[in-house]
Amino acid sequence: MPEVRNIVVLTGAGISAESGLATFRAEDGLWEGHRVEEVATPAGFAADPGLVHAFYDARRARLGEVVPNAAHEALARLDATWPGELLIVTQNVDDLHERAGAKRLVHMHGKLLRGWCLACDGRFGWAAPMGEEAVCPACDAAGAVRPDIVWFGEMPYEMERIETALRSCDLFVSIGTSGAVYPAAGYVQTAKYCGARTVEINLAPSLGSVMFDEVRIGRAGVEVPRLVGELLAPL
Ligand code: APR
């Protein structure tokens, strides 16, 4: 591995698959059982808030049944040890990176364990089922709380911070994402354009594999600890 100082890691649903959380575009994926338009758009929420709350309440409840896997733990080890800059950009809304100990982390698509009140614009932690009558802890309004998740057509979070990190990184690692959704799918191009070495770890070639300098096909639980070991060996 050539000289590395600043690292950006992008993760997708594939990093949480070995923990038992469903991905989106596999045969048994979340988008097989649900229409994206109905459960992951503002229009879908307006049309049937009960259906959307049921979808996210089920996913939120599932978090209590799973634990971080070796890939999350390896990234947390890298985070705790890496002397240069590091930013873990996750598209995932689960809390497995945090539970493994990651600190330098951004959730660009929001978090299952947060709520957003459309009456007062307050955002807050939310671990229980939300349902249509949830009461905002900030303004007491009932029925105006939605999941703090970025839906299709909405602006992802922390875009500036992510772009800045991409422009100054010399290693970009993409883990467990199909490369189907922008802006995340374009990050490899930004990193490459700015001179970074780009590595992909995925169970199967993604839509963006051709853009990577190196593609490591395999399970994140095996390949991420291996890559982190290579990065930490010289320290
Ligand atoms: N190890 C490594 N990669 C894996 C593993 C594993 N154990 N299991 C699955 N994968 C790979 C799959 O091959 C696939 O390419 O993870 C990828 C998961 O792709 P998606 O299901 O499309 O999930 P993701 O890329 O995170 O989706 C991006 O789309 O629907 C939106 O907002 C949603 O954040 C999500 C975004």
Global pTM exceeds 0.85: yes
In a 10 Å sphere around its CB, with 0-12 CB exposed, 13-18 middle and 19+ buried, how is residue 178 labelled?
A: buried
- Closest ligand 1 atom to residue 31 Cα is 30
- Ligand 1 within 6 A of CB of 196: no
* % of the chain residues with pLDDT over 90: 95
Residue with tokens 């949830």: 134
Ligand 1 centroid to Cα of residue 125, in Å, is 25
- Ligand 1 within 6 A of CB of 16: no
Given a cut of 50, the residues of the chain with pLDDT beneath it are none
Q: Is 97 a catalytic residue?
A: no
- Ligand 1 within 6 A of CB of 90: no
- Ligand 1 within 6 A of CB of 205: no
**Catalytic residue chosen out of the listed positions 53, 97, 107, 109:** 109
Report the pLDDT value the prediction gives residue 220, as an integer from 0 to 100. 98
Strand arrangement, sheet containing 197-202: 105-107, 86-90, 7-11, 171-175, 197-202, 214-217
Instruction: Judge contact between 86 and 5, C-beta under 8 A.
Output: no
Report the pLDDT value the prediction gives residue 1, as an integer from 0 to 100. 63
Mutate to test the pocket of ligand 1, among 34, 174, 177 (most ligand atoms within 8 A of CB): 177
Report the pLDDT value the prediction gives residue 19, as an integer from 0 to 100. 98
- Ligand 1 within 6 A of CB of 23: yes
- Closest ligand 1 atom to residue 177 Cα is 25
Ligand 1 centroid to Cα of residue 17, in Å, is 8
The C-alpha atoms of residue 148 and residue 134 are separated, in whole angstroms, by 13
Sign for the CA dihedral angle at 90, 161, 77, 128 comes to: negative
- Closest ligand 1 atom to residue 201 Cα is 2
pLDDT digits (tens, 9 = 90+) for 67-102: 999 999 999 999 999 999 999 999 999 999 999 999
Ligand 1 centroid to Cα of residue 14, in Å, is 4
Ligand 1 centroid to Cα of residue 162, in Å, is 19
Ligand 1 centroid to Cα of residue 122, in Å, is 30
Report the pLDDT value the prediction gives residue 32, as an integer from 0 to 100. 85
